[in-house]
Structure 1
Amino acid sequence: MEVIEARGLEIAYERAGEGPPVVFVHGAAEDGRIWQPQVAGLADELTVVVWDEPGAGRSSDLPEGFGLTDFADSLATLIETLDLGPAHIAGLSWGGTVVLELYRGHPELVATLIMIDTYAGWKGSLPADEVRKRVAGTRQMLAAPPEDFDPTLPGLFASDPPTRFVPLLTAIAADVRPATLGHQLTIMAEADQRDLLPRIAVPTLLIWGELDVRSPLSVAHQFEEAIPGAELVVIEGAGHLSNLERPEQVNEAVRMFCRAHPPRSS
Structure 2
Amino acid sequence: MELAFERRGSGPPLILVHGIGHHWQAWLPVMDRLAASRDVIAVDLPGFGDSPELPPGTPYTAEALADAVESFCALLDVREPHVAGNSLGGYIALELASRGVVATATALSPAGFWTRGELVWCQTVLRSLRASAETAARATSDGLLARLLASRAAGRAVASFLVAQPSRLDPVALAAATQALAAAPGFHPALEAFTDVMPPAPPKSPITIAWGAHDRLLPRRQAVRAAKWSGQRVKLLQGCGHLPMSDDPELVARVILEGSAPRWPA
Considering the TM-score relative to the shorter chain, is it more than 0.5? yes
Return the match for 2:256 from 217, 242, 254. 254
Tell whether the 8 Å contact from 1:142 to 1:182 is kept in structure 2 after alignment.
no
The answer to whether the aligner puts 1:90 opposite 2:84 as a matched pair is: yes
Q: Normalising by structure 1, report the TM-score.
A: 0.80
Structure 2: state its 5+ residue gaps.
Answer: 139-156
Return the match for 2:187 from 159, 181, 196. 181
Aligned to 1:242: 244
Instruction: Map 1:144-183 to 2 at 5 A.
Output: 147=135, 155-163=161-169, 165-176=170-181, 177-183=183-189
Q: Normalising by structure 2, report the TM-score.
A: 0.80
Question: In the TM superposition, what whole-angstrom CA distance separates every residue of 1:7-65 from its partner, at most 9, and x where no partner exists?
Answer: xxx41111111111111100011010110122111111111111011111111134444
Quote the Cα distance in structure 2 between the aligned partners of 1:97 and 1:91.
Answer: 7
Aligned to 2:215: 212
Instruction: Map 1:98-117 to 2 at 5 A.
Output: 98-104=92-98, 106-107=99-100, 109-117=101-109
Deviation at 1:152, TM superposition (A): 5.2
Question: In the TM superposition, what whole-angstrom CA distance separates every residue of 1:194-229 from its partner, at most 9, and x where no partner exists?
Answer: 5x2xx213221112111112222221221122214x
Aligned to 2:151: none
Question: In the TM superposition, what whole-angstrom CA distance separates every residue of 1:90-135 from its partner, at most 9, and x where no partner exists?
Answer: 110011222233344x42x21111010112x2xxx22222323444
Q: Aligned Cα RMSD in Å? A: 2.7
Return the match for 2:4 from 12, 16, 41. 12
Aligned to 2:203: 200
- Identical positions, percent: 25
Tell whether the 8 Å contact from 1:94 to 1:188 is kept in structure 2 after alignment.
no
Q: Aligned residues, how many?
A: 243
Per the alignment, in what secondary structure is the counterpart of residue 235 of structure 2?
strand
Per the alignment, in what secondary structure is the counterpart of residue 257 of structure 2?
helix
The answer to whether the aligner puts 1:66 opposite 2:62 as a matched pair is: no
If asked which structure has higher relative contact order (CA below 8 Å, sep 6+), I would say 2
Compare the two structures and name the one with the higher strand fraction. Answer: 1
Per the alignment, in what secondary structure is the counterpart of residue 259 of structure 1?
coil
Deviation at 1:154, TM superposition (A): 6.0
Structure 1: state its 5+ residue gaps.
Answer: 1-5
Tell whether the 8 Å contact from 2:214 to 2:238 is kept in structure 1 after alignment.
yes
